[in-house]
Amino acid sequence: MAETQTLRQWLLTDTPSSRRHAKLSALYQGWLSFRANTMAMIGLWILVVLVLVAIAAPLIAPHDPFVQSLGDRLAPLGTEGHVLGTDSLGRDILSRLIYGARITLYIVALVALIAPVAGLLVGTVAGYVGGWTDTVLMRITDIFLAFPRLVLALAFVAALGAGIENAVLAISLTAWPPYARIARAETLTIRTSDYISAIKLQGAGPLRIITKHIWPLCISSLIVRVTLDMAGIILAAAGLGFLGLGAQPPSPEWGAMISEGRRFILDHWWVATMPGLAIFTVSLAFNLLGDGLRDVLDPKAGE
Amino acid sequence: MVRCPKRECPIVNMLEIDNLNVWFGKHRDRVDAVKGASFIIGQGESFGLVGESGSGKSTILRAITGLAPLWSGRMIVEGQPLDHQRRKTFFKTVQMVFQDPYASLHPRHSVDQVLGETLHLHGFSDIDARVVKLLDDVGLGQKFRFRYPHQLSGGQRQRVAIARALAPEPHLLLLDEPTSALDVSVQAEILNLLADLRASRGLTYLMVSHDLSVVGHMCDRLAVMKDGEIVEVLTVDALRATKASHPYSQHLLEASL
């Protein structure tokens, strides 16, 4: 039997022979159901292409994104050598978009690493421990929520200095409270469930219960929320760039490119539109991916 | 009815509950769920707690296991009085099977993870061999080992939950309506499994049920509860002979006939 078994059959068996086998099998089945979702696959492919473009930027960009050529300024779409035209300083927009993918991914990755993790930590501890800990942590969360997002980020960047890293920190600082709220709400429903009581009866401590039993159930909804928030995060970074507190001028950050092109939007629409389309496409890709992930990760939808 | 009377062997009673009160909430919101409950369960005995929903029978189990922290009175397990903090040794002696097998298994943990973690927490080293043995003991084959709860039926889930409760090799098993969430055909299987396990492992059962026929099948003695109070403790033989003295017990008995 084992000789004629293909890899696919081995992965789809309902009687796994080892722990590793069972894990691989579960992963493969998740992948199969994700693959069946066409829109999610489109989102995934866009993001894969974005990552590849970011990695290979020096190889595929037709021009140096920083070289100015005032003679070619504001060239329209389809100009010889500048497929997507040039901006007000004669820089090739396509090349700037390609290099800008790196910055976008950098922002997205950093925020996605900081904000949900902080929110998960605060939310699950508050929800599980309860009492005074809950009150204190949730009031802190409320304070952060009540602050206007951009003002808090402004204050933070003003204190630490302008730059993309500080912009990321500022965005994360304002982005974690909703995650904490979600994680706490989920924890409150999970903590009274029988399976948590059951593991308590085996003598498990709070640390084990939170990390091994509550986190796995919260993480899926957080991942979905993060992918759905990505569009907002990219735009918030662009907003900070627009105010001169995010990416600094020569940097080809997409948001900064839009704010530069804004001045010419009536006569030279492509200067602002091209980076806008790029942000739109990536945001859409993240949303599609998030939808697909929700279907795969939701434990209640299993089977 | 107590299999091992005190006179003959030095071992003390498995469980003594004396004037137990359990309540929820504070001050004006206080709800008294159990009022002055007292009973004794001997070694190897199977004891039933009967009553309608809300009569406090499950709450007694939760108080014993420490899941209901607000209680007064005395609870003594194998001669050791319980305080409000449960120790690890306690969970090696007393385990519980929950009512709803659909809610008592972590949806993201496979059977192997559930049993493996339990064994790990109780400090066993030969986890693989023990998981295999436990699955065999509860009548689940090895093919169920790496399944997730959503791939199991209600009866199979309850078998996993029983295996988990048996993992630390407890002496006293608390059964909180272990069959009420299951189909009638599966109920009998689970009850037979529980009866077999008790015989082979010498377990003591404290079983909560609203079903007199289940208790009559499984238990030696039973206590009838109403509104948080134990109104009568009687043997199953007396129950069968319809010798219940308290009017409420008679009422329950009539309703189940």
- pLDDT tens across B137-176, in order? 998 888 888 888 888 888 999 999 999 999 999 999 999 9
d(CA A295, CA B88): 39
Residue A298's pLDDT is what?
66
- Residue among A22, A200, A216 minimizing CB distance to B108: A216
CB distance B146–A204 less than 8 Å? no
Looking at CA atoms only, how far is residue B227 from chain A in angstroms? 24
Report the residue of B64, B89, B94, B108 to disrupt the A interface, i.e. the one with the largest count of A CBs within 10 Å. Answer: B108
Token representation of residue B237: 């033989």
Do the Cβ atoms of A275 and A261 come closer than 8 Å? yes
pLDDT in tens, A205-242: 889 999 999 998 888 888 888 887 887 787 787 777 77
Looking at CA atoms only, how far is residue B65 from chain A in angstroms? 7
For residue B170, what is the DSSP state? -
pLDDT band at A188 (very low <50, low <70, confident <90, very high): very high
Chain B, nearest residue to A301 by Cα: B150
Any domain includes A168: yes
Looking at CA atoms only, how far is residue B237 from chain A in angstroms? 34
Token representation of residue A193: 């469930």
Q: Which amino acid is at B232?
A: E
Any domain includes B171: yes
The backbone torsions φ and ψ at residue B142, rounded to the nearest 5 degrees and listed phi first, read -70, -20
Do the Cβ atoms of A147 and A174 come closer than 8 Å? yes
- Residue among A16, A198, A302 minimizing CB distance to B150: A302
Residue B134: give its domain's CATH number: 3.40.50.300
Any domain includes A88: yes
pLDDT band at B21 (very low <50, low <70, confident <90, very high): very high
B58–chain A Cβ distance below 8 A for any pair: no
B161–chain A Cβ distance below 8 A for any pair: yes
Any domain includes B231: yes
- What is the domain count for chain A? 1
What is the residue-averaged pLDDT of chain A?
Answer: 83
Of all helices (H) and strands (E), which one includes residue B206? Answer: strand B204-209
Alpha-carbon separation of residue B137 from A11, B72, B146, B239 (angstroms):
28, 37, 17, 32
Token representation of residue A217: 């159930």
Total residues found in chain B within this entry: 257
- What is the domain count for chain B? 1
pLDDT in tens, B180-227: 888 888 888 899 999 999 999 999 999 998 888 888 888 999 999 988
Token representation of residue B255: 């309703």
Chain B, nearest residue to A197 by Cα: B67
- Claim: this prediction has a pTM higher than 0.90: no
Residue B195's pLDDT is what?
92
Per-residue H/E/C for A271-292: HHHHHHHHHHHHHHHHHHHHHH
- Residue among A16, A201, A302 minimizing CB distance to B96: A201
Any domain includes A295: yes
Stronger pLDDT, A183 or B87, i.e. the higher one: A183
Residue A140: give its domain's CATH number: 1.10.3720.10
pLDDT in tens, A238-293: 777 777 777 777 888 888 888 888 888 888 888 888 888 888 898 888 888 888 88
Residues of A with Cβ-Cβ distance to B150 under 8 angstroms: 299, 302-303
Average pLDDT of B96-121?
Answer: 90
- Residue among A15, A194, A201 minimizing CB distance to B95: A201
Q: Which amino acid is at B77?
A: V
Any domain includes B186: yes
Contact residues, chain A to chain B, C-beta under 8 Å: 14-16, 18-19, 21-22, 25-26, 193-195, 197-204, 208, 212-213, 216-217, 299-300, 302-303
Do the Cβ atoms of A167 and A107 come closer than 8 Å? yes
Residues of B with Cβ-Cβ distance to A27 under 8 angstroms: none
Any domain includes B5: no
B133–chain A Cβ distance below 8 A for any pair: no
Do the Cβ atoms of A40 and A57 come closer than 8 Å? no
CB distance A195–B110 less than 8 Å? no
Total residues found in chain A within this entry: 303
d(CA A75, CA A83): 10
The dihedral formed by the CA atoms of B107, B111, B112 and B117, expressed in degrees to the nearest 10: 60
pLDDT in tens, A93-147: 888 889 988 888 888 888 888 999 999 999 999 999 988 999 999 999 999 888 8
Range of A115's domain? 83-301
B3–chain A Cβ distance below 8 A for any pair: no
For residue B82, what is the DSSP state? P
d(CA B143, CA B120): 22
Number of CB pairs, chain A paired with chain B, less than 8 A apart: 77
- Residue among B122, B147, B148 minimizing CB distance to A202: B122
B122–chain A Cβ distance below 8 A for any pair: yes
Complex ipTM value: 0.84
B67–chain A Cβ distance below 8 A for any pair: yes
CB distance A213–B100 less than 8 Å? no
Range of B247's domain? 15-256
Tokens 């299987």, located at residue: B189
